[in-house]
Amino acid sequence: MLSTTFLGVKLKNPVIAASGTYGYGREYESLFPLETLGGISVKGTTLMPRSGNKPPRIAETASGMLNSVGLQNPGVDAFIANELPYLKTKDIAVIANISGNSPEEFAELARKLDIDGVDILELNISCPNIREGGKSFGADPVTAAAVTRAVKAASKKPVMVKLTPNVTSISEIAKAVEAAGADALSLINTLTAMRIDIRTKRPILANNTGGLSGPAIFPVAVRMVYEASGAVKIPVCGMGGIATAEDAVEMMMAGAACVQVGAAIFRDAYAPKKIIDGLEKYCLDNGNISEIVGAVKLNERDNEW
């Protein structure tokens, strides 16, 4: 009852570990089998290895966390040589999450990953566009579309574009990447945020700002998934603060065909498994999981603007 097909890829359940929160799967294998999950979106991969930002790069917040890890990863060649062979032995959807500093870099990553074992490409367009003074690709419909087009031309894999919530109109960006050929959307990435140590007057993160994730962002994510999925015809993978099966159901009712779980894993490494078990129970009472996708019934509003 939990199985579903997303972008032509069979998922045994709609729960995917979010990029940057589950490594390459191996790290958690001693707790429960990786194959319990519907899929894994691997740590954000770049052309060259990156050591990430200076510490401190994690800060606690009410009901969430800030991170400025900065895409620490061994680079795409090491991913292909050392991590992908392991993932290929698992009956699980493998989503390669990629980041670049130009559309050409995204395209080169996509070409390298147009290989057996990668099921879906997820484009992290929250990263900075060096040609535009570091503004993120995902904050502008034109640059978001340019990255999408470059990757579509370079790869035959299904392309899921991961949107940043740090925009005024998520629908505008969603429509732009759909028109550029995206096969699906995933959202939301982290919300840019900041904390200050009042004793030192310095930001807690060495990078000054970071990305907020966890339950604190859940209602924002539900609203954005609702708006984005309503604006496009392509499917949406929803994430942002999901910590329980009820959260996953809510996100799917907002319009998500599948969900990703991120920060909740740092609080409880069994969270994805508990969510899958909870969804199974939910389905016993309510039928097939696909039926709840977009099932929200809006209220009549008194004051339309």
Residues that bind ligand FMN (CB under 6 A): 18-21, 43-44, 67, 69, 71, 97, 124, 162, 189-190, 213-214, 217, 239-242, 261-264
Distances (CA, A) of 202 to 51, 59, 70, 145, 207: 23, 13, 19, 37, 11
State the Cα–Cα distance between residues 60 and 114, nearest whole angstrom: 38
Q: Name the catalytic one among 127, 237, 258, 283.
A: 127
CB closer to ligand FMN out of 11 and 69? 69
What letter does residue 56 receive in the DSSP assignment?
Answer: P
Q: How far is the CB of 302 from ligand FMN (least distance, A)?
A: 33
Q: How far is the CB of 174 from ligand FMN (least distance, A)?
A: 16
What does DSSP say about strands 191-193 and 202-203: parallel, antiparallel, or unpaired? unpaired
CB closer to ligand FMN out of 159 and 264? 264
CB closer to ligand FMN out of 70 and 286? 70
Q: How far is the CB of 131 from ligand FMN (least distance, A)?
A: 21
State the Cα–Cα distance between residues 31 and 245, nearest whole angstrom: 19
Residue 217: what residue type?
A: I
127 is catalytic: yes
What does DSSP say about strands 120-124 and 93-98: parallel, antiparallel, or unpaired? parallel
Q: How far is the CB of 305 from ligand FMN (least distance, A)?
A: 29
DSSP states along 62-95: TTEEEE-----B--HHHIIIIIHHHHHTSSSEEE
Which residue's CB comes closest to ligand FMN?
A: 20
CB closer to ligand FMN out of 44 and 74? 44
3-state DSSP assignment of residue 59:
strand
Q: How far is the CB of 78 from ligand FMN (least distance, A)?
A: 15
State the Cα–Cα distance between residues 42 and 75, nearest whole angstrom: 12
CB closer to ligand FMN out of 14 and 262? 262
State the Cα–Cα distance between residues 39 and 273, nearest whole angstrom: 12
What are the catalytic residues? 127
